[in-house]
Amino acid sequence: MIKPQVVSPTEWQAARDKLLIKEKQATRARDALAAERRRLPMVRIDKDYVFDGRDGKARLLDLFDGRRQLIVYHFMFAPGVGGWPAAGCPGCSQFVDNLGHLAHLHARDTSLVLVSRAPLANLQRYQARMGWRIPWFSSAGSDLNTDFGLTSDAGETFGLSVFFRDGDRVLRSYFTTGRGVEALGSVWTFLDLTPLGRQEDWEDSPPGTPQTPPYQWWRRHDEYESAAVPATE
């Protein structure tokens, strides 16, 4: 690996201040995008989706738990997904590991739950293994994944939906998938701040930076010790 340029504190500060100008521009651009997102039109969900949860059957309205907003993470846990039937998707698992205490969302009248196609018993066993306490519902037997474009002939995918409750009306306001979800996880955000980055081969990094294909290094948090760690020197 080509070693980074080492400069004086004054030179480093000058370079840092130059980058900060671009970072602030990006922050303002994200603020403007968020403002536009808040003004998106919404679609009413009239279909009566039924889920299995810890307390029994639940409908989409029940998932709000009395709050006005609901965030649903569509977690890949179904036939054909790596780890089935004992474990869910490693990438989805890493995302959930990044979620903080839900009390902060609840304080802003917002609930967050996980929804997967696997039967509830599979979800509960894996949830216990991972040590998660986030409400997790099974959509087995429901058309939710198909209707929302998360299950198709090409297989399963993941995503994040945002809903708004207007009385008893449920409205879908937003959806994202792919790197739109990835950006919400702090592991990737933290790595983006480091000299080596994510160490994935799509990144524009200095020559010699250790890199591996994306996704392949991801593990469930209790599996890393058994995985080979790429050398960094």
The Cα diameter of the chain in Å comes to 64
| Average pLDDT of the residues in 190-212 | 84
Domain ranges of the chain: 43-179
What fold, for 43-179? Glutaredoxin (3.40.30)
pLDDT the model gives residue 49 = 96
Please report which helix (H) or strand (E) contains residue 39, including its range.
none
More confident residue, 127 or 205: 127
More confident residue, 175 or 196: 175
pLDDT category at 141 given cuts 50, 70, 90 is: confident
Gap between the Cα atoms of 70 and 112, Å rounded: 6
Give the whole-number percent of the chain exceeding pLDDT 70. 96
pTM metric for this prediction: 0.84
Q: If we measure between CA atoms, which residue out of 232, 196, 202, 204 comes closest to residue 216?
A: 202
pLDDT category at 154 given cuts 50, 70, 90 is: confident
Whether the pLDDT of residue 199 is over 80: the answer is yes
Whether the pLDDT of residue 11 is over 90: the answer is yes
pLDDT category at 231 given cuts 50, 70, 90 is: very low
Which ranges of the chain does DSSP label H, i.e. alpha helix? 9-38, 90-97, 103-106, 120-130, 144-147, 179-182, 186-192
- For the CA atoms of 148, 154, 177, 120, the dihedral, rounded to the nearest 10 degrees, stands at 60
pLDDT the model gives residue 230 = 46
Q: For every residue of 175-206, which 3-state class applies, written as one string?
A: EECCHHHHCCCHHHHHHHCCCCCCCECCCCCC
| Average pLDDT of the residues in 6-29 | 96
Least confident of 92-96, 119-123, 150-154, 187-191: 187-191
| Average pLDDT of the residues in 213-226 | 85
The 10s digit of each residue's pLDDT in 88-137 is 999 999 999 989 889 888 878 899 999 999 999 999 999 999 999 999 99
Whether the pLDDT of residue 22 is over 60: the answer is yes
pLDDT category at 227 given cuts 50, 70, 90 is: low
pLDDT category at 183 given cuts 50, 70, 90 is: confident
pLDDT category at 232 given cuts 50, 70, 90 is: very low
| Average pLDDT of the residues in 163-189 | 87
